[in-house]
């Protein structure tokens, strides 16, 4: 049986996902062309329904803004997966990253610039420490990390609420958020005169992508982590510290998400907030990692795709379509990637028919 690159399978899954979404829109009496118009507008800022308005750079900036946190959470899920773990605790790590960032913003006075970096690093450290427990329990007692991560997600949610209402300086007008961060805590604006909140947080995303690639692909440390995930007993026999590697894998994965929580808190909101529910960045990271086949370039592509779908939601709603259509596309893509063996079988059938026809013609 011919083998296909994971990127090929992902691309086919994406295309079929859009096709299925288009068919569903047709069945429900809606024009699927509008879906692609909304996606094009989110991507390049050009509205085909009103071409006289020209290009509005607000839309591509918001696309990049929405992509930044899901790229980071995708890196987290992919890092854990490639080292034999499944990090479903991204929601909790995101929240504690935001909380730690908020504490540093208010209680660690530093000069501008340095203060921002300190807040982001605090978010990454908090995410790593929050991921320590599932990694430790997995390494020491072989307790399933998925169960621990799910429980810690809710622990983080309620811990954040308690801290903002009882410890941090709360905004008395809303009782749902802190007061604004000091002016020294800012990621700077790159909105080019628009209302977008796109900021310099993208630098941290690029650094995270490079770190992921370097650690996993180019270091002996990354090799030992992958070896532990692939065959723990074999790695132990080779002299590797499997306990330490398991814990470190989860902590590094948690750090990526903690950074995401920090840059969203600083760059988008500018204050600490109470989470009524999960933002779903952690769960979106699973989609990104699967679409990207846990490869650096693939995760970048997957993050940009999910960010694009999120950005197109507002335009879709204005056109009379529910925002659930973007969730449908995402779900179709994930299902198809999950059953990628079936896609391979179909591709092999097509290729075998072509080969048979070529032989007959010869």
Q: From CA 213, how far away is CA 196, in angstroms rounded? A: 30
Look at residue 155 in the predicted model and tell me its pLDDT.
96
Report phi then psi at 18, rounded to 5: -65, -35
- DSSP H helices, 142-241, are 145-166, 201-218, 220-230, 232-237
Residue 258 has pLDDT above 70, yes or no: yes
Q: Which residue has the higher pLDDT, 293 or 337?
A: 293
Look at residue 355 in the predicted model and tell me its pLDDT.
62
What's the structural domain count of the chain? 1
Q: Which residues constitute the domain of residue 187?
A: 63-296
Look at residue 255 in the predicted model and tell me its pLDDT.
97
Q: From CA 274, how far away is CA 163, in angstroms rounded? A: 9
Is 204:263 a contact under the CB 8 Å cutoff?
yes
pLDDT digits (tens, 9 = 90+) for 20-71: 888 888 888 888 888 888 889 999 988 887 788 788 899 999 999 999 999 9
Residue 80 has pLDDT above 90, yes or no: yes
Question: Could you tell me if residue 292 is inside a domain?
Answer: yes
Q: Tokens 């204050």 map to which residue?
A: 271
Residues 6+ apart with CB under 8 A from 303: 67, 68, 70, 71, 74, 288, 292
Can you give the length of the chain in residues?
A: 362
Question: Could you tell me if residue 18 is inside a domain?
Answer: no
Look at residue 265 in the predicted model and tell me its pLDDT.
96
Helix (H, G, I), strand (E, B) or coil at 5: coil
Question: Could you tell me if residue 307 is inside a domain?
Answer: no
Question: Could you tell me if residue 222 is inside a domain?
Answer: yes
Residue 1 has pLDDT above 50, yes or no: no
Residues 6+ apart with CB under 8 A from 156: 91, 92, 93, 95, 96, 99, 130
Look at residue 357 in the predicted model and tell me its pLDDT.
62
Is 337:10 a contact under the CB 8 Å cutoff?
yes
DSSP-derived letter for residue 195 is S
* Measured distance between the N- and C-terminal CA atoms of the chain, rounded to whole angstroms: 23
Question: Could you tell me if residue 305 is inside a domain?
Answer: no
Question: Could you tell me if residue 215 is inside a domain?
Answer: yes
Q: From CA 105, how far away is CA 121, in angstroms rounded? A: 12
Look at residue 164 in the predicted model and tell me its pLDDT.
94
Where on the phi/psi map is residue 6: left (φ > 0), alpha (ψ -120 to 50), or beta?
Answer: alpha
Report phi then psi at 69, rounded to 5: -65, -35
> What number is the average pLDDT over the span 338-360?
66
Question: Could you tell me if residue 360 is inside a domain?
Answer: no
Average pLDDT over the chain reads 88
Residue 320 has pLDDT above 60, yes or no: yes
Percent of the chain with pLDDT over 70: 93
Question: Could you tell me if residue 21 is inside a domain?
Answer: no
Where on the phi/psi map is residue 30: left (φ > 0), alpha (ψ -120 to 50), or beta?
Answer: beta
> What number is the average pLDDT over the span 284-310?
91
Look at residue 239 in the predicted model and tell me its pLDDT.
80
Where on the phi/psi map is residue 50: left (φ > 0), alpha (ψ -120 to 50), or beta?
Answer: beta
Least confident of 33-42, 274-283, 287-296, 342-351: 342-351
Q: From CA 63, how far away is CA 71, in angstroms rounded? A: 12
- Please give the C-alpha separations between residue 52 and each of 48, 143, 196, in angstroms, as whole numbers: 9, 60, 22
pLDDT digits (tens, 9 = 90+) for 83-102: 989 999 999 999 999 999 99
Q: Tokens 């899901």 map to which residue?
A: 70
pLDDT digits (tens, 9 = 90+) for 103-123: 999 999 999 999 999 999 999
Burial class (CB in 10 A: 0-12, 13-18, 19+), 356: exposed
β-partners of residue 177 are 273
pLDDT digits (tens, 9 = 90+) for 213-240: 999 999 999 899 998 888 787 888 788 8
198 closest CA partner among 318, 336, 64? 64
Look at residue 22 in the predicted model and tell me its pLDDT.
86
pTM over 0.75: yes
Buried b (16+ CB within 10 A) or exposed e, 298-322: bbbbbbbbbbbbbbbbebbeeeebe
Is 205:70 a contact under the CB 8 Å cutoff?
no
Where on the phi/psi map is residue 294: left (φ > 0), alpha (ψ -120 to 50), or beta?
Answer: left
């Amino acid at each position: 049986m011919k083998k296909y690159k994971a990127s090929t399978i992902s691309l086919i899954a994406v295309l079929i996902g859009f096709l299925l979404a288009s068919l569903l829109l047709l069945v429900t009496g809606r024009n699927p062309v509008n879906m692609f118009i909304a996606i094009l507008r989110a991507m390049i800022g050009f509205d085909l329904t009103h071409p006289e308005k020209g290009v509005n750079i607000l839309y591509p900036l918001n696309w990049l803004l929405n992509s930044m946190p899901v790229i980071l959470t995708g890196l987290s899920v992919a890092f854990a997966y490639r080292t034999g773990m499944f990090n479903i605790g991204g929601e909790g790590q995101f929240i504690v990253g935001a909380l730690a960032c908020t504490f540093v913003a208010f209680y660690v006075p530093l000069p501008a610039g340095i203060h921002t970096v300190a807040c982001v690093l605090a978010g990454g450290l908090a995410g790593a420490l929050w991921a320590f427990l599932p990694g430790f329990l997995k390494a020491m007692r072989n307790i399933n990390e998925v169960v621990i991560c799910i429980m810690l997600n809710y622990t983080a949610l309620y811990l954040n609420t308690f801290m903002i209402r009882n410890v941090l300086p709360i905004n008395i007008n809303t009782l749902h958020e802190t007061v604004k961060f000091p002016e020294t805590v800012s990621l700077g604006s790159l909105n080019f005169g628009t209302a977008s909140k796109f900021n310099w947080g993208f630098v941290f995303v690029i650094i995270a992508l490079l770190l992921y690639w370097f650690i996993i692909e180019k270091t002996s440390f990354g090799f030992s982590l992958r070896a532990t995930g692939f065959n723990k007993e074999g790695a132990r026999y080779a002299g590797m510290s499997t306990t330490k590697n398991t814990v470190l894998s989860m902590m590094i994965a948690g750090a990526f998400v903690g950074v995401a929580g920090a840059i969203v808190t600083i760059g988008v909101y500018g204050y600490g907030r109470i989470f009524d529910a999960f933002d779903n960045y952690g769960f979106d990271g699973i989609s990104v990692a699967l679409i990207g086949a846990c490869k650096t370039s693939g995760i970048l592509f997957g993050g940009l795709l999910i960010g694009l779908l999120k950005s197109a939601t507002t335009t879709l709603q204005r056109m009379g379509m529910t925002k659930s259509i973007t969730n449908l596309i995402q779900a179709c893509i994930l299902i198809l990637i999950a059953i990628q063996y079936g896609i391979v079988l179909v591709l092999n059938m097509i290729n075998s028919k072509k080969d048979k026809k070529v032989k007959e013609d010869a």
